[in-house]
Amino acid sequence: MAKTNSRRGFFRNALDSIIDARARQAQSYVNGALLMLDDETLAANGYKRSDLEKSARAPYMF
């Protein structure tokens, strides 16, 4: 029986989940580092403190 493109295997799904979790973890770490900057520097680089604080509080699995 041939696999179709619409069905994905268990290991591929597990790997995708791990990659997504690590990406969220890295983004949370970066947001924490950005929050140490002053408001002028954040605004000059296109960030808003409120958005960074909101996403820094978002829970993730790992």
Q: Is residue 6 part of a domain?
A: no
Number of domains in the chain: 1
The pLDDT tens digits of the residues spanning 2-51 come to 454 557 899 999 999 999 999 988 988 898 899 999 999 999 999 999 98
Q: Is residue 5 part of a domain?
A: no
Instruction: Indicate the pTM of the whole model.
Output: 0.65
Dihedral angle sign, alpha carbons of residues 51, 53, 56, 57:
negative
Residue 1 has pLDDT above 50, yes or no: no
Structural domain span for residue 30: 13-56
Q: Is residue 4 part of a domain?
A: no
DSSP codes of every residue in 18-45: HHHHHHHHHHHHHHHHHTTS-HHHHHHT
Q: Is residue 3 part of a domain?
A: no
Q: Is residue 25 part of a domain?
A: yes
Q: Is residue 61 part of a domain?
A: no
